[in-house]
């Protein structure tokens, strides 16, 4: 969890196979919580646990700062938002849902301590911040959802505001992947929310319905898996095409080589190419993949 593979599979699965209503709330909370977590790291600049004595089992994010744990923040926000968003839609014991959310977020937090990437304090603070944000934003979910689906300014807001946040990300003395990861998160969220807006205006008005009972059949499982596999294949192709085109266009504009790894880290290249790539993925997941499902008869 916490890597691109998880997000590019989990959120689309929820949207395609569970409930668009739930997916919208998850996207709102994920983008807000992750942005606050990412920017907090680079403002606080608390180092990760020292090695030795800690043995670090993960290398990709070793250059990032540690406080707070964004994995703990994401797992807390996603699991508890999922439970809160579904408790009035599906009939199940809320105690079991909350227990499952607590166990899931705890296991993710413990895994970050085990891999040597965070201290116990990093994980606890991350979980508390995330829980506080969920509690504060819960009363605004319906308002934000309505605004996202109906406001004519939604597409403009979803492009301009995330780009401003990415370009004005805190500057550090050395490069870390936090700015790139933040751009990926905000780009994917922007594309997905624009897709929700398009669906509401031009395709279908998704609304939540209470499900009193749900019997899962083998046919339903097969259709869900088919929808998921078709959608993921489409998103992988979209990612490759969007990334290649955006990177080549930007490198050509700034007269640098596409194969130059240092040039790709420059803010004027990294931010727009990441944003274009992942907003394209989000838009495809929300609009194009459901259309493909209809064409293939997978509804």
**Alpha-carbon span 116 to 50, nearest angstrom:** 9
Q: Is 71 a catalytic residue?
A: yes
Contact 122, 68 (CB under 8 A): yes
User: Which of the following is catalytic: 71, 146, 201, 293?
Assistant: 71
- What is the spatial distance between Cα 157 and Cα 151, in angstroms, rounded to a whole number? 10
b/e for 242-269, b at 16 or more Cβ within 10 A? bbeebbeebbeeeeeeeeeeebbeeeeb
| Integer-rounded Cα radius of gyration of the chain | 20
Please report how the helices 178-198 and 141-150 are oriented relative to each other, as an axis angle in degrees rounded to 10: 70
Distance of alpha carbon 187 from alpha carbon 273, whole angstroms: 10
Residue pair 257/170 in contact by the 8 Å Cβ criterion = no
Of 118, 146, 201, 293, which is the active-site residue? 118
Catalytic annotation present for 201: no
Query: Do residues 19 and 208 make contact, with C-beta atoms less than 8 angstroms apart?
Result: yes
Known catalytic residues are 71, 118
């Amino acid at each position: 969890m916490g890597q691109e593979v998880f997000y590019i599979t989990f959120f689309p699965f929820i949207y395609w196979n569970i409930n668009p209503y739930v997916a919208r709330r998850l996207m709102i909370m994920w983008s807000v919580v992750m942005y606050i977590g990412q920017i907090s790291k680079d403002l606080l600049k608390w180092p990760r646990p020292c090695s030795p004595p800690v043995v670090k089992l993960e290398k990709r994010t070793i250059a990032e700062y540690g406080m707070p744990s964004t994995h703990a923040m994401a797992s807390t926000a996603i699991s508890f938002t999922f439970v809160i968003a579904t408790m009035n839609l599906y009939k199940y014991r809320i105690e079991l849902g909350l227990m499952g959310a607590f166990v899931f977020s705890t296991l993710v937090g413990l895994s970050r301590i085990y891999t040597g990437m965070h201290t116990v304090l990093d994980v606890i603070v991350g979980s508390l911040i995330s829980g506080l944000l969920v509690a504060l934003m819960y009363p605004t979910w319906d308002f934000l959802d309505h605004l996202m689906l109906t406001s004519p300014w939604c597409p403009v807001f979803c492009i301009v505001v995330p780009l401003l946040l990415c370009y004005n990300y805190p500057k550090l003395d050395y490069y870390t992947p936090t700015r790139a990861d933040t751009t990926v998160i905000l780009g994917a969220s922007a594309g997905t929310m624009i897709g929700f807006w398009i669906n509401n205006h031009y395709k279908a008005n998704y609304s939540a319905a209470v499900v009193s009972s749900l019997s899962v059949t083998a046919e339903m499982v097969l259709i869900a898996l088919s929808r998921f596999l078709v959608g993921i294949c489409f998103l992988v192709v979209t990612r490759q095409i969007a990334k290649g085109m955006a990177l080549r266009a930007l490198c050509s504009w700034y007269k640098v080589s596409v194969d130059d790894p240092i040039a790709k880290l420059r803010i004027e290249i990294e931010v727009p190419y990441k944003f274009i790539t992942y907003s394209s993925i989000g838009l495809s997941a929300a609009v194009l993949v459901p259309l493909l499902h209809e064409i293939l008869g997978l509804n």
